[in-house]
Structure 1
Amino acid sequence: MSTTSPQRAAFAPNWPMRIALLALAAYTVWASSRLGLSGDRLAHGLGEGARLLGRMVPPNFERWQLLLEGMLESLQIAVLASAIGIAISLPLGVLAARNLSPVWISAPVRGIIAICRSLHYVIVAILFVKAIGFGALAGTAALVVASVGFIAKLFAEAIEEISMKQVEAIRATGASVMKVLAYAVLPQVASRFIGFCLYQLDSNLRNSTLVGIVGAGGIGGTLFAAFKRFDYDFVAAILLAIIALIFLAEIISGRVRAALR
Protein backbone atom coordinates (compact mmCIF):
# COMPACT_ATOMS: atom_id res chain seq x y z
CA MET A 1 0.00 0.00 0.00
CA SER A 2 1.63 3.19 -1.14
CA THR A 3 1.17 6.49 0.62
CA THR A 4 1.15 9.71 -1.28
CA SER A 5 2.40 12.93 0.27
CA PRO A 6 0.11 15.95 -0.07
CA GLN A 7 0.98 18.09 -3.05
CA ARG A 8 2.34 21.55 -2.31
CA ALA A 9 0.98 24.50 -4.20
CA ALA A 10 3.40 25.94 -6.74
CA PHE A 11 2.85 29.47 -5.47
CA ALA A 12 1.64 29.14 -1.91
CA PRO A 13 0.25 32.38 -0.46
CA ASN A 14 2.55 34.06 2.01
CA TRP A 15 0.03 35.08 4.64
CA PRO A 16 2.50 36.64 7.10
CA MET A 17 3.77 38.94 4.35
CA ARG A 18 0.23 39.83 3.28
CA ILE A 19 -0.77 40.63 6.85
CA ALA A 20 2.35 42.76 7.29
CA LEU A 21 1.60 44.71 4.10
CA LEU A 22 -2.02 45.27 5.18
CA ALA A 23 -0.81 46.48 8.57
CA LEU A 24 1.67 48.83 6.88
CA ALA A 25 -1.06 50.21 4.59
CA ALA A 26 -3.41 50.73 7.55
CA TYR A 27 -0.68 52.50 9.53
CA THR A 28 0.12 54.73 6.54
CA VAL A 29 -3.50 55.84 6.28
CA TRP A 30 -3.69 56.44 10.04
CA ALA A 31 -0.39 58.38 10.15
CA SER A 32 -1.45 60.51 7.18
CA SER A 33 -4.65 61.51 8.95
CA ARG A 34 -2.77 62.31 12.16
CA LEU A 35 -0.24 64.48 10.32
CA GLY A 36 -2.89 66.37 8.40
CA LEU A 37 -1.79 65.13 4.98
CA SER A 38 -4.48 65.60 2.38
CA GLY A 39 -4.94 66.07 -1.32
CA ASP A 40 -6.19 69.63 -0.82
CA ARG A 41 -3.03 70.66 1.00
CA LEU A 42 -0.92 68.99 -1.67
CA ALA A 43 -2.77 70.78 -4.47
CA HIS A 44 -2.44 74.11 -2.63
CA GLY A 45 1.27 73.49 -2.10
CA LEU A 46 1.83 72.70 -5.76
CA GLY A 47 0.15 75.97 -6.71
CA GLU A 48 2.30 77.94 -4.27
CA GLY A 49 5.37 76.13 -5.54
CA ALA A 50 4.56 77.10 -9.12
CA ARG A 51 4.23 80.76 -8.11
CA LEU A 52 7.54 80.55 -6.22
CA LEU A 53 9.29 79.11 -9.27
CA GLY A 54 7.78 81.89 -11.37
CA ARG A 55 9.38 84.48 -9.08
CA MET A 56 12.76 82.73 -9.36
CA VAL A 57 12.91 83.08 -13.16
CA PRO A 58 15.10 84.52 -14.55
CA PRO A 59 18.00 84.05 -12.09
CA ASN A 60 19.78 87.23 -11.04
CA PHE A 61 23.58 87.04 -11.18
CA GLU A 62 24.16 90.78 -10.69
CA ARG A 63 25.61 90.18 -7.20
CA TRP A 64 28.08 87.62 -8.48
CA GLN A 65 30.80 88.83 -6.14
CA LEU A 66 28.69 87.97 -3.06
CA LEU A 67 27.83 84.65 -4.64
CA LEU A 68 31.46 83.88 -5.44
CA GLU A 69 32.59 84.73 -1.90
CA GLY A 70 30.02 82.37 -0.41
CA MET A 71 30.89 79.57 -2.82
CA LEU A 72 34.60 79.90 -2.13
CA GLU A 73 33.99 79.81 1.60
CA SER A 74 31.84 76.69 1.26
CA LEU A 75 34.52 75.06 -0.86
CA GLN A 76 37.19 75.91 1.69
CA ILE A 77 35.04 74.54 4.53
CA ALA A 78 34.41 71.29 2.63
CA VAL A 79 38.04 70.70 1.66
CA LEU A 80 39.44 71.59 5.09
CA ALA A 81 36.84 69.53 6.95
CA SER A 82 37.45 66.55 4.65
CA ALA A 83 41.23 66.73 5.08
CA ILE A 84 41.07 66.98 8.88
CA GLY A 85 38.33 64.37 9.14
CA ILE A 86 40.26 61.88 7.00
CA ALA A 87 43.47 62.48 8.95
CA ILE A 88 41.62 61.73 12.20
CA SER A 89 39.64 58.82 10.76
CA LEU A 90 42.64 56.84 9.54
CA PRO A 91 44.12 56.08 13.00
CA LEU A 92 40.65 55.71 14.49
CA GLY A 93 39.73 53.19 11.80
CA VAL A 94 42.85 51.15 12.54
CA LEU A 95 42.16 51.21 16.28
CA ALA A 96 38.50 50.30 15.75
CA ALA A 97 39.28 47.28 13.54
CA ARG A 98 38.68 44.20 15.69
CA ASN A 99 41.13 42.05 13.73
CA LEU A 100 44.02 44.40 14.53
CA SER A 101 43.18 45.84 17.96
CA PRO A 102 42.15 44.11 21.18
CA VAL A 103 38.60 44.59 22.37
CA TRP A 104 39.59 46.96 25.18
CA ILE A 105 40.86 49.36 22.48
CA SER A 106 38.43 48.74 19.61
CA ALA A 107 35.27 48.96 21.75
CA PRO A 108 35.88 52.49 23.16
CA VAL A 109 37.02 53.75 19.75
CA ARG A 110 33.89 52.33 18.14
CA GLY A 111 31.91 54.14 20.83
CA ILE A 112 33.55 57.43 19.86
CA ILE A 113 32.75 56.80 16.20
CA ALA A 114 29.16 55.96 17.09
CA ILE A 115 28.82 59.24 19.01
CA CYS A 116 30.07 61.16 15.96
CA ARG A 117 27.43 59.39 13.87
CA SER A 118 24.60 59.86 16.34
CA LEU A 119 23.78 63.52 15.72
CA HIS A 120 22.95 65.13 12.41
CA TYR A 121 25.64 67.51 11.20
CA VAL A 122 23.21 70.45 11.28
CA ILE A 123 22.58 69.84 14.99
CA VAL A 124 26.34 69.60 15.54
CA ALA A 125 26.77 72.85 13.59
CA ILE A 126 24.22 74.58 15.85
CA LEU A 127 26.13 73.37 18.91
CA PHE A 128 29.42 74.67 17.54
CA VAL A 129 27.81 78.00 16.58
CA LYS A 130 26.62 78.38 20.16
CA ALA A 131 30.03 77.35 21.50
CA ILE A 132 32.48 79.22 19.26
CA GLY A 133 30.28 81.72 17.44
CA PHE A 134 29.14 82.29 13.90
CA GLY A 135 31.44 81.69 10.96
CA ALA A 136 33.35 79.12 8.98
CA LEU A 137 35.11 77.64 12.02
CA ALA A 138 31.83 76.27 13.37
CA GLY A 139 30.93 74.79 9.99
CA THR A 140 34.36 73.22 9.57
CA ALA A 141 34.24 71.67 13.04
CA ALA A 142 30.75 70.29 12.45
CA LEU A 143 31.74 68.66 9.17
CA VAL A 144 34.91 67.24 10.73
CA VAL A 145 32.73 65.44 13.28
CA ALA A 146 30.45 64.18 10.50
CA SER A 147 33.43 63.04 8.43
CA VAL A 148 34.95 61.12 11.34
CA GLY A 149 31.66 59.36 12.03
CA PHE A 150 31.34 58.20 8.43
CA ILE A 151 34.91 57.63 7.24
CA ALA A 152 36.29 56.01 10.41
CA LYS A 153 33.48 53.44 10.40
CA LEU A 154 34.09 52.54 6.76
CA PHE A 155 37.85 52.43 7.31
CA ALA A 156 37.39 50.00 10.21
CA GLU A 157 35.03 47.77 8.23
CA ALA A 158 37.37 47.71 5.24
CA ILE A 159 40.32 46.74 7.45
CA GLU A 160 38.30 43.95 9.06
CA GLU A 161 37.77 42.39 5.61
CA ILE A 162 41.47 42.15 4.69
CA SER A 163 43.39 38.90 4.43
CA MET A 164 45.31 38.31 7.65
CA LYS A 165 47.85 36.06 5.92
CA GLN A 166 49.82 39.06 4.70
CA VAL A 167 49.65 40.66 8.14
CA GLU A 168 50.95 37.50 9.80
CA ALA A 169 53.73 37.17 7.24
CA ILE A 170 54.96 40.71 7.86
CA ARG A 171 54.69 40.26 11.62
CA ALA A 172 56.78 37.08 11.38
CA THR A 173 59.69 39.13 10.06
CA GLY A 174 59.71 41.15 13.28
CA ALA A 175 58.40 44.30 11.63
CA SER A 176 57.05 47.14 13.75
CA VAL A 177 53.39 48.04 13.93
CA MET A 178 53.80 50.93 11.49
CA LYS A 179 55.53 48.67 8.95
CA VAL A 180 52.78 46.09 9.29
CA LEU A 181 50.23 48.79 8.54
CA ALA A 182 52.28 50.20 5.64
CA TYR A 183 53.16 46.91 3.92
CA ALA A 184 50.35 44.51 4.88
CA VAL A 185 47.20 46.53 5.68
CA LEU A 186 47.17 49.70 3.59
CA PRO A 187 48.00 48.02 0.23
CA GLN A 188 44.88 45.87 0.58
CA VAL A 189 42.53 48.75 1.30
CA ALA A 190 44.16 51.75 -0.39
CA SER A 191 41.78 51.89 -3.35
CA ARG A 192 38.72 51.61 -1.10
CA PHE A 193 40.11 54.29 1.21
CA ILE A 194 40.50 56.68 -1.71
CA GLY A 195 36.93 55.97 -2.81
CA PHE A 196 35.63 56.68 0.69
CA CYS A 197 37.58 59.93 0.85
CA LEU A 198 36.28 61.14 -2.50
CA TYR A 199 32.73 60.33 -1.50
CA GLN A 200 33.12 62.21 1.76
CA LEU A 201 34.49 65.24 -0.08
CA ASP A 202 31.43 65.19 -2.34
CA SER A 203 29.21 64.90 0.71
CA ASN A 204 30.93 67.75 2.51
CA LEU A 205 30.54 69.99 -0.53
CA ARG A 206 26.78 69.52 -0.29
CA ASN A 207 26.68 69.71 3.48
CA SER A 208 28.78 72.89 3.61
CA THR A 209 25.97 74.73 1.83
CA LEU A 210 23.49 73.59 4.46
CA VAL A 211 25.41 74.34 7.65
CA GLY A 212 25.60 77.99 6.56
CA ILE A 213 21.85 78.27 7.08
CA VAL A 214 22.41 77.95 10.84
CA GLY A 215 25.24 80.50 10.79
CA ALA A 216 28.20 78.19 10.24
CA GLY A 217 29.61 80.00 7.22
CA GLY A 218 29.48 79.34 3.52
CA ILE A 219 26.96 79.98 0.80
CA GLY A 220 24.15 78.70 3.01
CA GLY A 221 24.12 81.95 4.96
CA THR A 222 23.81 83.94 1.74
CA LEU A 223 21.01 81.65 0.58
CA PHE A 224 19.11 82.00 3.86
CA ALA A 225 19.46 85.79 3.80
CA ALA A 226 18.13 85.88 0.24
CA PHE A 227 15.12 83.81 1.27
CA LYS A 228 14.38 86.16 4.18
CA ARG A 229 14.50 89.15 1.82
CA PHE A 230 12.15 87.35 -0.63
CA ASP A 231 14.92 87.83 -3.19
CA TYR A 232 13.95 84.73 -5.12
CA ASP A 233 15.75 85.55 -8.37
CA PHE A 234 19.02 85.69 -6.41
CA VAL A 235 18.01 82.45 -4.66
CA ALA A 236 17.76 80.82 -8.09
CA ALA A 237 21.24 82.06 -8.98
CA ILE A 238 22.64 80.62 -5.75
CA LEU A 239 20.94 77.26 -6.30
CA LEU A 240 22.25 77.05 -9.86
CA ALA A 241 25.76 77.83 -8.64
CA ILE A 242 25.52 75.10 -5.98
CA ILE A 243 24.28 72.58 -8.55
CA ALA A 244 27.12 73.51 -10.91
CA LEU A 245 29.68 73.07 -8.11
CA ILE A 246 28.33 69.63 -7.18
CA PHE A 247 28.31 68.53 -10.82
CA LEU A 248 31.90 69.71 -11.25
CA ALA A 249 32.98 67.85 -8.12
CA GLU A 250 31.23 64.71 -9.37
CA ILE A 251 33.04 64.89 -12.71
CA ILE A 252 36.42 65.40 -11.06
CA SER A 253 35.91 62.58 -8.55
CA GLY A 254 34.78 60.27 -11.34
CA ARG A 255 37.93 61.04 -13.31
CA VAL A 256 40.07 60.36 -10.22
CA ARG A 257 38.34 57.03 -9.56
CA ALA A 258 38.79 55.99 -13.19
CA ALA A 259 42.49 56.90 -13.08
CA LEU A 260 43.02 54.80 -9.94
CA ARG A 261 41.45 51.64 -11.35
Structure 2
Amino acid sequence: MRIFGILIIAYLAYASTQLDLGLGRFINGLGEGGRFIARLFPPNFERWELLLEGLLESIQIAVLATVGGIILSLPLGLMAARNIAPWWVSGPTRAFIAVCRSLHYVIVAIIFVKALGFGALAGIAALIIASIGFVAKLFAEAVEEISMKQVEAVRSTGASGMAVLLYAVLPQVASRFVGFGLYQLDSNLRNSTLVGVVGAGGIGGTLFAAFKRFDYDFVSAILIAIIALILLAELVSGRIRAAMR
Protein backbone atom coordinates (compact mmCIF):
# COMPACT_ATOMS: atom_id res chain seq x y z
CA MET A 1 0.00 0.00 0.00
CA ARG A 2 2.86 2.40 0.76
CA ILE A 3 4.32 1.84 -2.70
CA PHE A 4 0.91 2.43 -4.23
CA GLY A 5 0.49 5.67 -2.24
CA ILE A 6 3.96 6.88 -3.28
CA LEU A 7 3.12 6.17 -6.93
CA ILE A 8 -0.14 8.13 -6.65
CA ILE A 9 1.64 11.12 -5.10
CA ALA A 10 4.36 10.97 -7.75
CA TYR A 11 1.78 10.86 -10.53
CA LEU A 12 -0.14 13.80 -9.04
CA ALA A 13 3.05 15.84 -8.93
CA TYR A 14 3.88 14.88 -12.52
CA ALA A 15 0.35 15.70 -13.77
CA SER A 16 0.45 19.09 -12.01
CA THR A 17 3.64 20.07 -13.81
CA GLN A 18 2.28 18.93 -17.17
CA LEU A 19 -0.96 20.91 -16.79
CA ASP A 20 0.71 24.17 -15.71
CA LEU A 21 -0.99 24.27 -12.30
CA GLY A 22 0.81 27.01 -10.42
CA LEU A 23 -0.04 28.91 -7.24
CA GLY A 24 0.76 32.25 -8.87
CA ARG A 25 -1.62 31.57 -11.72
CA PHE A 26 -4.34 30.58 -9.24
CA ILE A 27 -3.89 33.76 -7.18
CA ASN A 28 -3.95 35.89 -10.32
CA GLY A 29 -7.14 34.09 -11.38
CA LEU A 30 -8.80 34.98 -8.09
CA GLY A 31 -8.26 38.66 -8.82
CA GLU A 32 -9.59 38.35 -12.35
CA GLY A 33 -12.56 36.36 -11.09
CA GLY A 34 -13.35 39.02 -8.51
CA ARG A 35 -13.37 41.73 -11.17
CA PHE A 36 -15.59 39.60 -13.39
CA ILE A 37 -18.09 38.96 -10.59
CA ALA A 38 -18.17 42.69 -9.81
CA ARG A 39 -19.27 43.34 -13.42
CA LEU A 40 -22.23 40.98 -13.01
CA PHE A 41 -23.96 43.30 -10.54
CA PRO A 42 -26.45 44.80 -10.48
CA PRO A 43 -28.39 42.41 -12.77
CA ASN A 44 -30.23 44.02 -15.66
CA PHE A 45 -33.79 42.77 -16.25
CA GLU A 46 -34.73 45.46 -18.75
CA ARG A 47 -34.80 42.92 -21.61
CA TRP A 48 -37.16 40.63 -19.72
CA GLU A 49 -39.07 39.73 -22.88
CA LEU A 50 -35.93 38.20 -24.45
CA LEU A 51 -35.19 36.46 -21.18
CA LEU A 52 -38.72 35.05 -20.88
CA GLU A 53 -38.67 33.86 -24.48
CA GLY A 54 -35.47 31.91 -23.88
CA LEU A 55 -36.77 30.39 -20.64
CA LEU A 56 -40.02 29.27 -22.26
CA GLU A 57 -38.12 27.67 -25.12
CA SER A 58 -35.87 25.82 -22.64
CA ILE A 59 -38.94 24.55 -20.76
CA GLN A 60 -40.52 23.37 -24.01
CA ILE A 61 -37.32 21.61 -25.04
CA ALA A 62 -37.04 19.90 -21.65
CA VAL A 63 -40.68 18.75 -21.54
CA LEU A 64 -40.73 17.46 -25.13
CA ALA A 65 -37.39 15.70 -24.72
CA THR A 66 -38.48 14.11 -21.44
CA VAL A 67 -41.78 12.85 -22.86
CA GLY A 68 -40.08 11.54 -25.99
CA GLY A 69 -37.29 9.92 -23.99
CA ILE A 70 -39.73 8.22 -21.60
CA ILE A 71 -41.91 6.91 -24.42
CA LEU A 72 -38.85 5.34 -26.05
CA SER A 73 -37.33 4.20 -22.75
CA LEU A 74 -40.37 2.15 -21.72
CA PRO A 75 -40.06 -0.53 -24.45
CA LEU A 76 -36.27 -0.34 -24.40
CA GLY A 77 -36.21 -0.93 -20.65
CA LEU A 78 -38.47 -3.97 -21.00
CA MET A 79 -36.33 -5.31 -23.83
CA ALA A 80 -33.14 -4.79 -21.80
CA ALA A 81 -34.44 -6.60 -18.68
CA ARG A 82 -32.73 -9.99 -18.64
CA ASN A 83 -35.38 -11.64 -16.50
CA ILE A 84 -38.20 -11.16 -19.03
CA ALA A 85 -36.37 -10.81 -22.37
CA PRO A 86 -34.14 -13.40 -24.10
CA TRP A 87 -30.42 -12.72 -24.23
CA TRP A 88 -30.45 -12.05 -27.97
CA VAL A 89 -32.87 -9.16 -27.29
CA SER A 90 -31.52 -7.83 -23.99
CA GLY A 91 -27.86 -7.90 -25.11
CA PRO A 92 -28.14 -5.61 -28.16
CA THR A 93 -30.64 -3.38 -26.35
CA ARG A 94 -28.28 -2.91 -23.43
CA ALA A 95 -25.48 -2.13 -25.89
CA PHE A 96 -27.64 0.57 -27.52
CA ILE A 97 -28.49 2.08 -24.12
CA ALA A 98 -24.79 2.06 -23.24
CA VAL A 99 -24.01 3.97 -26.44
CA CYS A 100 -26.64 6.57 -25.50
CA ARG A 101 -24.95 6.95 -22.11
CA SER A 102 -21.39 7.05 -23.41
CA LEU A 103 -21.55 10.41 -25.19
CA HIS A 104 -22.08 13.66 -23.29
CA TYR A 105 -25.30 15.41 -24.28
CA VAL A 106 -23.40 18.52 -25.38
CA ILE A 107 -21.40 16.43 -27.87
CA VAL A 108 -24.65 14.84 -29.09
CA ALA A 109 -26.18 18.32 -29.38
CA ILE A 110 -23.27 19.48 -31.55
CA ILE A 111 -23.79 16.46 -33.81
CA PHE A 112 -27.51 17.18 -34.14
CA VAL A 113 -26.86 20.88 -34.76
CA LYS A 114 -24.61 19.87 -37.66
CA ALA A 115 -27.23 17.41 -38.93
CA LEU A 116 -30.47 19.33 -38.29
CA GLY A 117 -29.30 22.92 -38.11
CA PHE A 118 -29.55 25.48 -35.32
CA GLY A 119 -32.65 25.53 -33.17
CA ALA A 120 -34.77 23.66 -30.66
CA LEU A 121 -35.09 20.47 -32.74
CA ALA A 122 -31.41 19.67 -32.27
CA GLY A 123 -31.70 20.27 -28.52
CA ILE A 124 -34.77 18.04 -28.22
CA ALA A 125 -33.09 15.23 -30.17
CA ALA A 126 -29.93 15.46 -28.05
CA LEU A 127 -31.82 15.37 -24.76
CA ILE A 128 -33.97 12.46 -25.94
CA ILE A 129 -30.77 10.46 -26.43
CA ALA A 130 -29.58 11.50 -22.97
CA SER A 131 -32.96 10.56 -21.47
CA ILE A 132 -32.86 7.11 -23.05
CA GLY A 133 -29.38 6.49 -21.66
CA PHE A 134 -30.54 7.26 -18.13
CA VAL A 135 -34.21 6.24 -17.88
CA ALA A 136 -34.03 3.05 -19.95
CA LYS A 137 -31.11 1.75 -17.90
CA LEU A 138 -32.79 2.44 -14.55
CA PHE A 139 -36.09 1.06 -15.80
CA ALA A 140 -34.42 -2.17 -16.94
CA GLU A 141 -32.77 -2.54 -13.55
CA ALA A 142 -36.11 -1.93 -11.81
CA VAL A 143 -37.79 -4.62 -13.93
CA GLU A 144 -35.00 -7.06 -13.09
CA GLU A 145 -35.76 -6.56 -9.37
CA ILE A 146 -39.47 -7.42 -9.58
CA SER A 147 -40.99 -10.50 -7.98
CA MET A 148 -41.26 -13.22 -10.61
CA LYS A 149 -44.00 -14.98 -8.60
CA GLN A 150 -46.57 -12.51 -9.90
CA VAL A 151 -45.28 -12.94 -13.42
CA GLU A 152 -45.54 -16.74 -13.21
CA ALA A 153 -49.01 -16.49 -11.68
CA VAL A 154 -50.30 -14.41 -14.58
CA ARG A 155 -48.55 -16.64 -17.11
CA SER A 156 -50.16 -19.73 -15.58
CA THR A 157 -53.58 -18.36 -16.54
CA GLY A 158 -52.58 -18.53 -20.20
CA ALA A 159 -52.30 -14.76 -20.56
CA SER A 160 -50.49 -13.28 -23.52
CA GLY A 161 -47.11 -11.61 -23.26
CA MET A 162 -48.71 -8.17 -23.37
CA ALA A 163 -51.10 -9.12 -20.58
CA VAL A 164 -48.17 -10.32 -18.46
CA LEU A 165 -46.48 -6.94 -18.91
CA LEU A 166 -49.65 -4.99 -18.12
CA TYR A 167 -50.80 -6.96 -15.09
CA ALA A 168 -47.64 -8.45 -13.59
CA VAL A 169 -44.63 -6.33 -14.57
CA LEU A 170 -45.72 -2.71 -14.92
CA PRO A 171 -47.74 -2.49 -11.67
CA GLN A 172 -44.61 -3.44 -9.72
CA VAL A 173 -42.45 -0.70 -11.25
CA ALA A 174 -44.97 2.05 -12.10
CA SER A 175 -44.18 4.30 -9.12
CA ARG A 176 -40.43 3.99 -9.64
CA PHE A 177 -40.81 4.74 -13.33
CA VAL A 178 -42.72 7.94 -12.52
CA GLY A 179 -39.89 8.90 -10.17
CA PHE A 180 -37.33 8.28 -12.91
CA GLY A 181 -39.34 10.47 -15.27
CA LEU A 182 -39.56 13.35 -12.78
CA TYR A 183 -35.84 13.19 -12.10
CA GLN A 184 -35.11 13.20 -15.82
CA LEU A 185 -37.36 16.24 -16.28
CA ASP A 186 -35.31 18.06 -13.63
CA SER A 187 -32.13 17.02 -15.39
CA ASN A 188 -33.39 18.05 -18.82
CA LEU A 189 -34.38 21.48 -17.50
CA ARG A 190 -30.78 22.04 -16.43
CA ASN A 191 -29.34 20.50 -19.57
CA SER A 192 -31.63 22.48 -21.89
CA THR A 193 -29.92 25.66 -20.68
CA LEU A 194 -26.55 24.25 -21.70
CA VAL A 195 -27.28 22.78 -25.13
CA GLY A 196 -28.31 26.26 -26.25
CA VAL A 197 -24.69 27.34 -25.93
CA VAL A 198 -23.86 25.15 -28.95
CA GLY A 199 -26.86 26.41 -30.93
CA ALA A 200 -29.53 23.91 -29.89
CA GLY A 201 -32.10 26.46 -28.74
CA GLY A 202 -33.21 27.68 -25.35
CA ILE A 203 -31.92 30.21 -22.86
CA GLY A 204 -28.37 28.95 -23.34
CA GLY A 205 -28.19 30.69 -26.71
CA THR A 206 -29.28 33.96 -25.11
CA LEU A 207 -26.68 33.49 -22.38
CA PHE A 208 -23.89 32.78 -24.87
CA ALA A 209 -24.81 35.81 -26.96
CA ALA A 210 -24.74 38.02 -23.84
CA PHE A 211 -21.29 36.70 -22.96
CA LYS A 212 -20.00 37.46 -26.46
CA ARG A 213 -21.30 41.05 -26.17
CA PHE A 214 -19.65 41.43 -22.73
CA ASP A 215 -23.15 42.26 -21.50
CA TYR A 216 -22.43 40.95 -18.02
CA ASP A 217 -25.31 42.62 -16.17
CA PHE A 218 -27.71 40.81 -18.52
CA VAL A 219 -25.70 37.60 -17.99
CA SER A 220 -26.37 37.97 -14.29
CA ALA A 221 -30.09 38.36 -14.92
CA ILE A 222 -30.11 35.23 -17.07
CA LEU A 223 -28.24 33.21 -14.45
CA ILE A 224 -30.65 34.32 -11.73
CA ALA A 225 -33.61 33.34 -13.92
CA ILE A 226 -32.09 29.91 -14.63
CA ILE A 227 -31.48 29.28 -10.92
CA ALA A 228 -35.04 30.31 -10.10
CA LEU A 229 -36.39 27.98 -12.79
CA ILE A 230 -34.41 25.00 -11.50
CA LEU A 231 -35.42 25.66 -7.89
CA LEU A 232 -39.07 25.93 -8.88
CA ALA A 233 -38.87 22.68 -10.85
CA GLU A 234 -37.21 20.96 -7.89
CA LEU A 235 -39.97 22.18 -5.56
CA VAL A 236 -42.76 21.00 -7.85
CA SER A 237 -41.20 17.59 -8.52
CA GLY A 238 -40.56 17.13 -4.80
CA ARG A 239 -44.23 17.81 -4.04
CA ILE A 240 -45.31 15.32 -6.71
CA ARG A 241 -43.00 12.62 -5.37
CA ALA A 242 -44.24 13.23 -1.83
CA ALA A 243 -47.86 12.96 -2.97
CA MET A 244 -47.16 9.59 -4.59
CA ARG A 245 -45.80 8.02 -1.41
TM-score of the pair, normalised by structure 1: 0.92
Match of 2:44 among 47, 60, 79: 60
Equivalent position amino acid for 2:177 in 1: F
Moved over 3 A (4+): none
The offset of 1:128, in angstroms, is 0.5
Per the alignment, residue 234 of structure 2 pairs with 250
Residues 110-141 of structure 1: per-residue CA shift (max 9 Å, x gap): 11111111111001100100001000000000
Question: What secondary structure does 2:100 align onto?
Answer: helix
Match of 1:227 among 211, 215, 221: 211
Per the alignment, residue 31 of structure 1 pairs with 15
Greater shift after overlay, 171-180 or 84-93? 171-180
The offset of 1:22, in angstroms, is 2.7
Per the alignment, residue 114 of structure 2 pairs with 130
Equivalent position amino acid for 2:52 in 1: L
Q: Which has the larger radius of gyration?
A: 1
Match of 1:192 among 176, 179, 182: 176
Per the alignment, residue 236 of structure 1 pairs with 220
The offset of 1:98, in angstroms, is 0.4
Count of residues in Structure 1 that have an aligned counterpart in Structure 2: 245
Question: What secondary structure does 1:59 align onto?
Answer: coil
Equivalent position amino acid for 1:188 in 2: Q
Per the alignment, residue 10 of structure 1 pairs with none
Residues 76-103 of structure 1: per-residue CA shift (max 9 Å, x gap): 0000000000000000000000000000
Match of 2:147 among 148, 163, 178: 163
Greater shift after overlay, 36-45 or 87-96? 36-45
The offset of 1:176, in angstroms, is 1.4
Could you tell me which runs of 5 or more consecutive residues in structure 2 were left unpaired when the two chains were aligned.
none
Match of 2:125 among 141, 146, 154: 141
- RMSD value, Cα: 0.8
Aligned counterparts of 1:24 and 1:188: Cα–Cα separation in 2: 46
Equivalent position amino acid for 2:157 in 1: T
The offset of 1:177, in angstroms, is 1.4
Aligned counterparts of 2:13 and 2:213: Cα–Cα separation in 1: 38
Tell me, yes or no, if structure 1 residue 201 matches structure 2 residue 185: yes
Question: What secondary structure does 1:130 align onto?
Answer: helix
The offset of 1:21, in angstroms, is 2.8
TM-score of the pair, normalised by structure 2: 0.98
- Mapping for residues 76-95 of structure 1, pairs under 5 Å: 76-95=60-79
Tell me, yes or no, if structure 1 residue 179 matches structure 2 residue 163: yes
Equivalent position amino acid for 1:169 in 2: A
Aligned counterparts of 2:6 and 2:165: Cα–Cα separation in 1: 52
Could you tell me which runs of 5 or more consecutive residues in structure 1 were left unpaired when the two chains were aligned.
1-15
Per the alignment, residue 134 of structure 2 pairs with 150
Equivalent position amino acid for 2:220 in 1: A
The offset of 1:72, in angstroms, is 0.2
**% identical equivalent positions:** 73
Aligned counterparts of 1:62 and 1:21: Cα–Cα separation in 2: 56
Equivalent position amino acid for 2:113 in 1: V
Aligned counterparts of 1:34 and 1:71: Cα–Cα separation in 2: 41
